[in-house]
Amino acid sequence: MEAVAHLKYIRVSPRKVVNVLKLIRGKDIDVAMGILKNTRKAICPDLIKLLKSARANAENNHEMDGGKLYISECYVCPGPTMKRLMPRAKGSADVILKRTCHITVKVKERE
């Protein structure tokens, strides 16, 4: 049995999130929290909230032990991209892509 937590429409590029998710994949929840607290990336506070949510879902909805939880699966999917125009020379314009992402974390209980 596993508990799932989602974080949607986060205004960070999925490419930047993947590097942080690689650090915590397969780790215990407490170890992953420590890694995220000491990592200087913009997405880390959001991932800490997501891990707390996943732990709460596991404890309250599935009666799992919070001390035995580990991250079994975590991945990021691209969300909708906002397109903005930036003026350039001679009346032309460039498109600026402001990317978003959806992050999913699944936790399981160690036997």
What's the pLDDT at 28?
95
What's the pLDDT at 43?
95
When pLDDT is cut at 50, 70 and 90, the band that residue 82 belongs to is very high
What's the pLDDT at 9?
97
Does residue 99 surpass a pLDDT of 90?
yes
Across the range 92-102, mean pLDDT stands at: 97
Q: For residues 86 and 69, what is the distance between their CA atoms, to the nearest angstrom?
A: 46
CA atoms within 13 A on the CB side of 96: 6
What's the pLDDT at 4?
96
Query: pLDDT tens digits, residue range 19-76?
Result: 999 999 999 999 999 999 999 999 999 999 999 999 999 999 999 998 899 999 999 9
Per DSSP bridges, beta strands 69-78 and 101-109 are: antiparallel
User: What kind and span of H or E run contains 9?
Assistant: strand 2-10
The CATH code belonging to domain 2-109 is 3.90.470.10
What's the pLDDT at 111?
82
Instruction: Yes or no: say if 58 and 85 are a contact pair by the CB < 8 Å rule.
Output: no
DSSP string of 38-86? T---TTHHHHHHHHHHHHHHHHHHS---GGGEEEEEEEEEE-PPEEEEE
Q: For residues 23 and 76, what is the distance between their CA atoms, to the nearest angstrom?
A: 14
Single pTM value for the model: 0.90
